[in-house]
Amino acid sequence: MDIMEKLTILADSAKYDASCSSSGSTRTNGKFGNTAYSGICHSFSSDGRCISLLKILLTNICIFDCKYCINRNSNNVKRAIFTPEEICQITINFYKRNYIEGLFLSSGIIKSPDYTMELMIKTIELLRHKYHFGGYIHAKAIPGCSEYQLKKLGSLVDRLSANIELPSNESLKLLAPNKEESKVSKIMNYVKVNQNKNFTPAGQSTQMIIGASLETDLDIMNKSENSYHDYKLKRVFYSAYIPVNQDKNLPILKMPPLKRENRLYQADWLLRFYNFKVSDLLDKNHPNFNVLVDPKCSWALNHLNEFPKEVNSCTYNELLKIPGIGVTSAKRIITSRKFFKLNFNDLKKMGVVLKRAQYFITCNGKYNLNATLLSSSFIEKNLFLDDAEKEIGYGKQLSLFN
Amino acid sequence: MENNYPYLTNQVYIYDNDFISLLSLIKTLLKNKIRPYKIEGKEYNPSLFENIINIKVENNSNILRELKNIFGKENMQIIYYVYSSCENNKELVIYYYLLNYFKFKDNLIRMRNLRCVSEALRIKEKVAREAHKFKGFLRFKELKSESLYAEINPDNDILFILAKHFQKRLKEFNWVIKDVNRKTYAIYFSQKLYFANEEKINLKNVEFSKEEESYEDMWKEFYNIIGITLRKNDRCRMNFMPKKYWQYLIEMEDER
């Protein structure tokens, strides 16, 4: 099998992992190549996702039989395995042509977790030590491997992570019978405890598949919130379930739940940067996000009695909760308003989306609209039905939920 | 030469089309309290009522350090990014930005209600964004000599910013980046960085290495494979990677 055919097979089987970020590393060594703290996207694939890393599996041979996975043991697909040298050659040749920021290496489980990890370590050691590669490397740890291997691999890579895959242990038992939650959390805990500038400097992330099992958005967000808290994760990735296999335990979908995935990402941002808690956004009576309204607006509409806010005097935290104001514009408002009183035009120059924010703010006591219009029915009608119509016009994604 | 009626003047001041001479001119203008109507490069064609003025400025090679001491590193960086942009009135934006510095000092950057500040920051972000995009979208090809060669077509003059980025990243290689819009080159050879324009360089008949085509094919294959068909989203891709970048993207060859 030539290298091109291997690349075809092993990129094809790696593409369902959502993570491709190359940011956050502060590592400085390496004669050939470096990392950019902000991360760099080198291309965008036909599905609009960023391509930053060479995302491949070492092998798609796998002893596990996870129901949702294209590489499951019981699937009759063509199998391939890269040699460490082949991976190095592709990585350095892609890197020097500026196609990529580095390597994302994951693997099916061949023979045993220990054996697979050994191959991954050998590959990345070769890349770092023989080729002096200083670019970004994100490796997936294999659940069940030894602590010694985690230590070794973690000191070679920028990011080392393990995927939660499914939001609850019950779903894991149902859909990934060979996987154990405890083995994944063991890896995540090890990385958390040992992380420093020489050991996984860019920290760890994880991924959950959305829509393959029965969990509500509340379950998923609670799992995320706990993981951020317990393991100091940099990111949780949400991956809309793509039906690649048939199984009695899997749902039958025509389209992956992309809009739901989008809402979860928005809510995830609210947790990490906007000081929201899951309990602000969802509760037992409303366990799922509204597909038509983004979570922040939805929160604001349910708390209209707290609005409008005066941008010249409210706190940073209050600014963050106003729809149409993001972290950057909130910071700009805070630093600028010490020096002059802000008006609507100034807000626009600072990147505030007035189309959204105008319903929820006053500037120097002035409300941009007729004050009687501060009602959720009016705002909903003006803001979201417009958006919803637009989206329905563009794609068929919403049809799933109607 | 003091002018108290800035908006009634018709005086266009001319500089020598490089950053140093623009800074020297602006420094002279500020020192003599002259409010220019326009500041333009030397190829500028004045309209009927405009009055071209070439004033003698001292050419001081230390001016960068001198101004950095006055205005600070952050402001100098903003000014450099504005200068690198393709905006029409960038020289005046720089002039008014520096003029206002004397009034507001280090608070200036927060005074976004001033037109010169909001304009300077808007332009700076625009240039920075384009430079960041090209850090990802630039594609090197390997030549027979094992040097790397890339062509770019940016709107703003970001060659210097990009060259600095690749100087750190590919320090063990020799490489050339050509800005095809401006016909300028950044050349990194034996660990030294040079800039040149077309007259000084001969890059005809470049031949690519024998491996080049196979890695390009592998990259195209990887690109085509990695997209998930059920998630296809052209609008999203176009937002992140507009068509103007496609010209030198190897992976977009078949879709161009």
pLDDT of residue B2: 42
Q: Which of B129, B162, B180 is the last residue of a domain?
A: B129
What average pLDDT does chain B have? 91
Helix (H) and strand (E) counts in chain B: 8, 8
Indicate whether B172 and B250 sit together in one domain: no
Indicate whether A186 and A78 sit together in one domain: yes
pLDDT of residue A400: 37
Indicate whether B120 and B173 sit together in one domain: no
Residue A398 Cα distances to A131, A391, B230, angstroms: 48, 8, 14
Domain that holds residue B27: 6-129
- Domain-embedded: residue B95: yes
- Domain-embedded: residue B244: yes
The fraction of chain A above a pLDDT of 90, given in percent, is 79
pLDDT of residue A388: 60
Indicate whether B222 and B204 sit together in one domain: no
Q: Read off the pLDDT of each residue in A371-385 and give the average, rounded to a whole number.
A: 71
Chain B residues touching residue A262 (CB < 8 angstroms): none
* Paired sense of beta strands A53-57 and A159-161, if any: unpaired
* Cα(B108)–Cα(B133) distance, integer angstroms: 28
Partner-chain contact A94 B226, CB within 8 Å = no
Indicate whether B205 and B219 sit together in one domain: no
Indicate whether A206 and A343 sit together in one domain: no
pLDDT of residue B7: 54
Indicate whether B70 and B184 sit together in one domain: no
| CB-count exposure of residue B212 (10 Å: 0-12, 13-18, 19+) | middle
- Domain-embedded: residue A402: no
- Domain-embedded: residue B22: yes
**CB atoms near residue A230 (< 10 Å):** 12
* Band of residue A389 on the pLDDT scale cut at 50, 70, 90: low
| Residue that is written with structure tokens 């909903």 in the block | A380
Residue A134: what are its φ and ψ, rounded to 5°? -110, 5
The SS3 of residue A118 is helix
Q: Which of A281, A313, A334 is the last residue of a domain?
A: A281
| H or E stretch at A363 | strand A361-363
Torsion angle defined by CA atoms of residues B100, B101, B105 and B109, in that order, rounded to the nearest 10 degrees? 90
Segment 143-162 of chain A within 8 Å of chain B by CB: none
**Partner residue facing B219 (CB), from A40, A94, A338:** A94
Indicate whether B60 and B107 sit together in one domain: yes
Give per-residue burial for A162-184: e unless 16+ CB within 10 Å, then b. Answer: bbbbbbbeebbebbbeebebeeb
CATH code at position B179: 3.30.1300
Q: Read off the pLDDT of each residue in A134-145 and give the average, rounded to a whole number.
A: 95
Tokens of A354: 């007035």
pLDDT tens profile B130-146: 999 999 999 999 999 99
pLDDT of residue B162: 97
- Domain-embedded: residue B166: yes
Chain A residues touching residue B170 (CB < 8 angstroms): 32-33, 96
Q: Which of B64, B95, B129 is the last residue of a domain?
A: B129
A39 close to A104: Cβ distance less than 8 angstroms: no
- Domain-embedded: residue A288: no
* Cα(A371)–Cα(A353) distance, integer angstroms: 19
A402 has a pLDDT exceeding 70: no
**A335 in B contact zone (CB under 8 Å):** yes
Residue A270: half-sphere exposure toward Cβ, Cα within 13 Å: 26
Chain A interface, best mutation among B112, B147, B175, B229, by max A CB count within 10 A: B112
* Cα(A114)–Cα(A182) distance, integer angstroms: 17
Indicate whether A167 and A313 sit together in one domain: no
B148 has a pLDDT exceeding 90: yes
Partner-chain contact A45 B227, CB within 8 Å = yes
Q: Read off the pLDDT of each residue in A387-400 and give the average, rounded to a whole number.
A: 49
Residue B56 Cα distances to B22, B27, B53, B83, angstroms: 12, 12, 10, 21
The SS3 of residue A165 is strand
- Domain-embedded: residue A66: yes
Indicate whether B112 and B147 sit together in one domain: no
Tokens of A228: 């951020």
Using only C-alpha atoms, what is the Rg of chain B? 22
* Cα(A79)–Cα(A73) distance, integer angstroms: 10
B196 to chain A, closest Cα gap in Å:
22
Residue B106 Cα distances to B29, B30, B70, B75, B149, angstroms: 21, 18, 11, 9, 41
Return the closest-CA partner of residue A102 out of A226, A201, A171, A188.
A201
pLDDT of residue B8: 55
- Domain total of chain B: 3
* Cα(A335)–Cα(A339) distance, integer angstroms: 8
Residue B235 Cα distances to B60, B152, B208, angstroms: 50, 24, 35
- Domain total of chain A: 2
Domain that holds residue A45: 3-281
Q: Which of B112, B129, B146 is the last residue of a domain?
A: B129
Beta strands, E only, chain B: 11-15, 38-41, 51-53, 141-142, 148-152, 175-179, 184-189, 192-197
Indicate whether A269 and A151 sit together in one domain: yes
A30 to chain B, closest Cα gap in Å:
10
Segment 382-401 of chain A within 8 Å of chain B by CB: 394-395
Indicate whether A258 and A388 sit together in one domain: no
pLDDT of residue B137: 97
Q: Which of A218, A246, A281 is the last residue of a domain?
A: A281
Indicate whether A20 and A49 sit together in one domain: yes
| Chain B residue with Cα closest to A49 | B237
| Chain B residue with Cα closest to A41 | B136
* Cα(B205)–Cα(A87) distance, integer angstroms: 33
Q: Read off the pLDDT of each residue in B218-247 and give the average, rounded to a whole number.
A: 94
* Band of residue B44 on the pLDDT scale cut at 50, 70, 90: confident
Q: Read off the pLDDT of each residue in B34-57 and give the average, rounded to a whole number.
A: 86
Chain B interface, best mutation among A7, A29, A44, by max B CB count within 10 A: A44
Indicate whether A138 and A63 sit together in one domain: yes
Indicate whether B196 and B91 sit together in one domain: no
**What ipTM does the predicted assembly reach?**
0.92
Indicate whether B115 and B56 sit together in one domain: yes
A99 has a pLDDT exceeding 90: yes
Q: Read off the pLDDT of each residue in A354-380 and give the average, rounded to a whole number.
A: 82
- Domain-embedded: residue A400: no
What average pLDDT does chain A have? 91
What type of residue is B136? G
The SS3 of residue B75 is helix
Indicate whether B11 and B109 sit together in one domain: yes
Indicate whether A141 and A56 sit together in one domain: yes
Chain B interface, best mutation among A13, A42, A86, by max B CB count within 10 A: A42
| Chain B residue with Cα closest to A22 | B136
- Domain-embedded: residue A316: yes
pLDDT of residue A65: 94
Q: Read off the pLDDT of each residue in A254-274 and give the average, rounded to a whole number.
A: 94
Indicate whether A147 and A49 sit together in one domain: yes
CATH code at position A113: 3.20.20.70
Indicate whether A52 and A135 sit together in one domain: yes
- Domain-embedded: residue B62: yes
Least confident span in A1-5, A72-76, A200-204, B31-35? B31-35
- Domain-embedded: residue A110: yes
Beta-carbon contacts of A380 under 8 Å, excluding residues fewer than 6 positions away, are A293, A301
- Domain-embedded: residue A401: no
Indicate whether B11 and B125 sit together in one domain: yes
* Cα(A376)–Cα(A393) distance, integer angstroms: 24
Indicate whether A177 and A50 sit together in one domain: yes
Indicate whether A250 and A380 sit together in one domain: no
A189 to chain B, closest Cα gap in Å:
31
- Domain-embedded: residue B1: no
* Band of residue B48 on the pLDDT scale cut at 50, 70, 90: confident
Beta-carbon contacts of B37 under 8 Å, excluding residues fewer than 6 positions away, are B6, B9, B10, B11, B12, B50
| Chain B residue with Cα closest to A253 | B230
- Domain-embedded: residue B165: yes
The 3 state secondary structure assigned to A309-347 is EECCCCCHHHHHCCCCCCHHHHHHHHHHCCCCCCCHHHH
Least confident span in A29-33, A296-300, A344-348? A29-33
- Domain-embedded: residue A172: yes
- Domain-embedded: residue B231: yes
Least confident span in A188-192, B48-52, B245-249? B48-52
Indicate whether B48 and B125 sit together in one domain: yes
What type of residue is B176? V
Residue A161: what are its φ and ψ, rounded to 5°? -145, 165
A275 has a pLDDT exceeding 90: yes
Q: Which of A259, A281, A303 is the last residue of a domain?
A: A281
